Amino acid sequence: MTLPPDLPVSTLTAATKLWRVHQAVYEPLWFGPAPGQPPQNRFDAPAGEFRVCYFGQELEGAFVETLMRGRTRRLVRLAELKERAASAVPLTREVRLARVHSDGLVHLALSAGVPHAEPYDDCHAMALDFWRHAAAVDGIEYRSRWDDSRLCVALFDRAGNALGTPITRPLGSTALVRPVLRHYGIGVV
């Protein structure tokens, strides 16, 4: 992909909170894939050039990207919720993200389908192009595949210093997730 010299960029200010929904037994901040592992997620590096940590800009985006991905029914098991935690992670500095949605698509000459295409080979190549670009962006801002009204962030490991101390709460034993379940009409079994 040939990127324009003036990338479409979104800026998130210091103190902005990003959200992760993750397995509770693991730390909330993890840049993957692990060294030597092949790319697994949408904007992972094709050959391990960098690592990525994925976030939602709101809890809802992180939730649907993690727990509703690929489901044909709006149900989650209580055990799944109890195995998970939600972490709000404040930014300690401004981050600049390649905008792969809205008007950014026109600037990049992409259709909205490209950042959501499977398999992820094109997304991996595109992420590498963004990572190498002279704009030195911190990551990629894109729409959730499961709720396109929500924005998500794929943060490159070079921006790990922009992440503050996470505030983590369990999903299965707090009221934190109830509004999300209500909003989407998700049942718990």
Q: What residue segments make up the domains of the chain, in order of their start?
A: 9-188
As a whole number of angstroms, the distance between CA 147 and CA 50 comes to: 27
pLDDT of residue 81: 96
Q: Which of 167, 183, 180, 142 is nearest to 87 (CA)?
A: 167
Would you give per-residue pLDDT tens digits along the chain (189 residues)? 889 999 999 999 999 999 999 999 999 999 999 999 999 999 999 999 999 999 999 999 999 999 999 899 999 999 999 999 999 999 999 999 999 999 999 999 999 999 988 999 999 999 999 999 999 999 999 999 999 999 999 999 999 999 999 999 999 878 999 999 999 999 999
